[in-house]
Amino acid sequence: MKALTKTIFEALCLFKRSSVNTLQPLEQFSPTEVEKILVISCTAIGDTLFATPAIRALRNILPDREIHLLVRQKFLDLFRNNPFTDRVMGYRGGYKGAFRLFCNIKSHGFQLCLIFHDSDPCPVQISFLAGIPFIFRIGQRDELARPYLSARIPYDQRKHAIDQRLEVIRQVFKVALDTEEDLRMDLPINHQLSQMLWLDLLSKAEISDENTKKIGLQFSASGKYKIWPEENFVQLATRLLETSSNNIICLIGSPKERREAQKIKKTMIQNGGEAKRILNLAGAVGLKHFGEMIHGLDLLVTNDTGPLHVAIAVGTPTVSLFVPSNHRATGPVQDLGLHKVITKPRPCRPCTEKYCSTPHCMGLISVDEVFEAVLRGLRAGKS
């Protein structure tokens, strides 16, 4: 069914492009004629957070226009309260629910579509078929979506991913967005709810909140090539528990990773860790309150993955680990005093990244240097 839907949409796009093409070039774009805007960022959590500065800039440029945001359905709760949008919608990905999404987009009569990722041509095709006259997308790859764009904004790999998304706004609206504040991500949280959530989590574990240092460990990532070895996380946690009786280890992950987190906890206990000071929080709260949970940590040790970017957005100190991925492209760019990046040169040339069949390079980062970075981060505390 998915393949059939894809074939139908591709055929419809080809027909529309050759007969009743309503797409207009960048040179004809006028912001004064825009009333409704569709913003699309429906890949990973980090990618969508990277788009939030561009969405804020868009709101500042067009303060009285209607802005709708399309995100991946499974991440909808995390972005539902974006303060610079009027409505946030969910998209299942690929061609799942494509006809329903087309009807939804068509019904709103958008005049402008901004796309802040360079994969999955389906939302581009849907926007084109819906008759949106101006469709602009960040561009790295030449793929099926390119014929259905008003303009493809060049992807400069020397820039941070946030800056690359801001470049779409710069080129479409002819504005300068070059300050540190322009790069700041937005993820609003309820500070009181965060406090209450952590009081509940700690009370269930029979731990007093007084003087505790809650250290999160994000042990997973979207690809194996970005994951620090599990045994290193275990050794790090063991040393942190031995260092101070106030240290609490919080294993962070999705509901699917809860079993893996439990296995890691068991190994930590076998290494002498006190069971009640190791909290398995994988899937403990839904994405709706994930920002509040991350905000309550004193520090997060993490691979290059979504929770890292959530932590940066909500002001939680981090120690992040990079080898094959580029920290200059996806690492911290705001509140740099709160965030320590540990990286090593790639040992393989060329690096195949996610296509690597035997990833091992993350092991070049030693437990000792991460341990020292965590202690420094805990001493410095939150700003």
Q: 240-286, pLDDT tens digit by residue?
A: 999 999 999 999 999 999 999 999 999 999 999 899 999 999 999 99
- Pair (370, 230) in one structural domain: yes
- Of the chain, the percentage scoring pLDDT greater than 70 comes to 98
By residue range, what is the domain housing residue 86? 2-183
- Pair (75, 172) in one structural domain: yes
Distance between CA atoms of 339 and 311, rounded to whole angstroms? 10
Would you tell me how many other CB atoms lie within 10 Å of the CB of residue 333? Answer: 20
Do the beta carbons of residue 151 and residue 138 sit within 8 Å?
Answer: no
The residues that bridge with 248 in the sheet, in sequence order, are 214
Do the beta carbons of residue 116 and residue 51 sit within 8 Å?
Answer: yes
336 pLDDT more than 70: yes
Domain end, chosen from 161, 183, 205, is at 183
Instruction: Write down the pLDDT at residue 104.
Output: 94
- Average pLDDT (347-364) is 83
- Pair (296, 342) in one structural domain: yes
Instruction: Write down the pLDDT at residue 140.
Output: 66
Instruction: Write down the pLDDT at residue 141.
Output: 64
Tell me the per-residue pLDDT of 367-379, one tens digit each, with 9 for 90 and over.
999 999 999 999 9
pTM: 0.95
Comparing C-alpha atoms, which of 134, 95, 129 is closest to residue 2?
Answer: 95
Given pLDDT bands bounded at 50, 70 and 90, which one contains residue 142?
low
Given pLDDT bands bounded at 50, 70 and 90, which one contains residue 298?
very high
Three-state secondary structure call for residue 5: helix
Instruction: Write down the pLDDT at residue 131.
Output: 94
Q: How many domains does the chain have?
A: 2
- Pair (155, 276) in one structural domain: no
Report the helix count and the strand count for the chain, using DSSP H and E: 13, 12
